[in-house]
Amino acid sequence: MYTQNIMGTKTISIRDDIYNILKSLKRENESFSDVIGELAKKKKSNLRDYFGALKDSKALDEIEDDYMKIRSSARSRV
């Protein structure tokens, strides 16, 4: 018995920034479905992949400022 594997097509809406990320991950001769499928298969995140991600980020400075404000306000309440 011959079974034909017919792939369906679905239209989804994604933000432009997400499209650009997917596009940057896509290799030549690879479909967006391939990229999304590989991302979906990843079950675990390795924290080492994110090490240093905030190194040159303003967010790190903002976190440090918030931390210092919280410590300062805690001292003044005691």
Place of tokens 């919280």: 70
29: left (phi over 0), alpha (psi -120 to 50) or beta: left
Percentage of the chain modeled with pLDDT above 70? 85
| Tens-digit pLDDT profile for residues 64-76 | 899 998 988 887 6
Q: Which two tokens stand for residue 10?
A: 């679905």
Letter for the amino acid at 14?
I
Residue 57 pLDDT exceeds 70: yes
Q: How confident is residue 10, by pLDDT bands cut at 50, 70 and 90? A: confident
How many angstroms separate the CA atoms of 57 and 10, rounded? 37
pTM here?
Answer: 0.45
Q: How many CB atoms lie within 10 A of CB 9?
A: 5
